[in-house]
Each structure stands twice: as structure tokens, then as C-alpha cells.
Amino acid sequence: MNYLAHLLLSGPDPDWRLGGLLGDFVKGPLTGERPAAIEAGIRLHRRIDVTTDEHPAHRESLTLLDPSWRRYAGIIMDIWFDHLLSRQWSRYHPQPLDAFCDQCWQDFHARSRYIPPRAQAFIARAEQFKLLQSYGDPQVIARTLERVGQRLRRPVPLHEALPELIAAGGTLQHQFDRLFEDLNREAVEFRLHYSGSNKS
């Protein structure tokens, strides 16, 4: 899953949402240097990533790409799944996508002391260019894939996979729906369990 999915699956709490974003930027053990709810969001992010990698729908979706993409198929599919999520956003959240993203950035600015520089740079770019709000546009996805591919140790033209993603559109939508239903259920259970254990 990519940024938009992690923000949504983190639930309504701003600290959890920030943790959901930081899961891509904070590696290694969590030592309590950030508030507990932010670190809980990072843990949820990691759980979601593990569940995604092991889920049959995700594994099946990767086989729809040409084998030449094998090493990068997971990266490509994570970004494409954010595209599919953005195109049916109202199915999963009552707040318009624009307002949801604006609220996230506003909340994160108030917590900037907990955000590492790379994440700060991403937030600034995403806010300035309304990046997540524009994920419904395949051309934005192409540019995102291109940027990600350029940052790899050996640059790879990931955007060239876009025609394959579009061609497999209906099947990938079905796989995404299967996966996201299970991820949403697991995220809710994780948050409830965490809240319950903290009260006891």
C-alpha cells in the first residue's frame, strides 16, 4: 500500500495518521522518542505492509505484470492501488479527498517536531502540488512512477508499466477490492486492540 491508503487505514486520529505516513520514512526499532499513538501508527503501517505482501489478491495482481517487472512489481502495484483508491474514495470515507488531505497536512504541521526531514520534504511537495488528490489521473501516476524509478540505485523507467496496468484495469480493480476489504478490517481490529490494551 502507498501513502493514501496508509493515511486512510490509520483511522481518524491525527497521531495515528502521522504514524501511518511515517512508516515509509522511519526504520528500525521504535524506542518511544515519539508519542505512543504516532508509534502505534507506524506499527500499523508495518502490519499493513506485511499483510499486503502475503495476501493472495496482491500476489495475484503482481502476476498480471510482465515478468520483466518482477523486481519492481510491488512498488508499481502499491502506487497503482492508490490510484484505484482515489477513484472510489467516497466508498471508503465520507470526507471529500481534497478536504481529507488538507486536514492531514494541517495536523502534521502541528506535529512537525516528530517528522524527519525526508518526510517533511514529501509533505511539502504533496501539499504544494496536491499530489494525493490527483492520484486519480493516470498521467499523475505515470509521473509518480517515473520519479520513483529515477530514485532507485539503478534508475528504472517504471512509468513504462502504465499501459499494462490500464490493460488489466478490471482485474486489478477486483484484486484491490478484495485486498482493501481485508486490510480495512485488520486496521480497525488493530486500532481497537491497541486502544483496549492501553486502557487496561
Number of domains in the chain: 1
The per-residue pLDDT for 1 is 84
* Among candidate residues 46, 59, 33, the one with its CA nearest the CA of residue 186: 46
**Spatial separation of the C-alpha atoms in residues 177 and 90, rounded to whole Å:** 14
Q: What tens digit of pLDDT does each residue of 157-198 get?
A: 999 999 999 999 999 999 999 999 999 999 999 999 987 666
Q: Global pTM? A: 0.95
Measure the CA–CA gap between 182 and 55, rounded to whole angstroms: 9
Confidence of residue 27 (pLDDT cuts 50, 70, 90): very high
Confidence of residue 199 (pLDDT cuts 50, 70, 90): low
> Which grid coordinates belong to 15?
497521531
Residues of 61-78 as b/e, b for ≥16 C-beta within 10 angstroms? Answer: beebbeeebeebbbbbbb
What pLDDT does 196 receive?
Answer: 65
**Domain residue limits at 59:** 3-199
Question: What pLDDT, on a 0 to 100 scale, did the predictor assign at position 200?
Answer: 45
Q: What is the pLDDT of residues 36-59, one digit of tens each?
A: 999 999 999 999 999 999 999 999
Average pLDDT, the chain: 96
